[in-house]
Amino acid sequence: MKAGSKRISCMGIIGDGCGGGREFIVENGILSAYDVLTKQNITLLENIHDAKRISKKACILSIECENELIEFNLSSMKSQTKS
């Protein structure tokens, strides 16, 4: 892990929409999903800057960054940035 970067994550709850049972991780500017059963890791989104917090509600991952809010839809696999 490079200097100044940190790892943040949240767990998807089984039955709460997309991604139940997976750990969603932002590290080194990359959002990934880790499946604890299969031990597989997939990259979902790159170029995330200054992530402070990640949370999940239904199929939406919210990544709070220093200057923006990124919402990643796990159903469509697309992101939307809000200032």
pLDDT above 90 (res 15): no
Assigned domain for 77 exists: yes
The pTM score is 0.89
Assigned domain for 71 exists: yes
Q: What is the CATH number of the domain that holds 21?
A: 2.40.10.480
Assigned domain for 64 exists: yes
Tokens of 64: 């709070």
Provide the residue range defining the domain that includes 63: 8-82
* Each residue's pLDDT tens digit, 30-73: 999 999 999 999 999 999 999 999 999 999 999 999 999 999 99
pLDDT band at residue 5 under the 50/70/90 scheme? low
CA atoms within 13 A on the CB side of 83: 0
Assigned domain for 2 exists: no
pLDDT (0 to 100) of residue 16: 84
pLDDT (0 to 100) of residue 1: 40
Assigned domain for 19 exists: yes
Domain total of the chain: 1
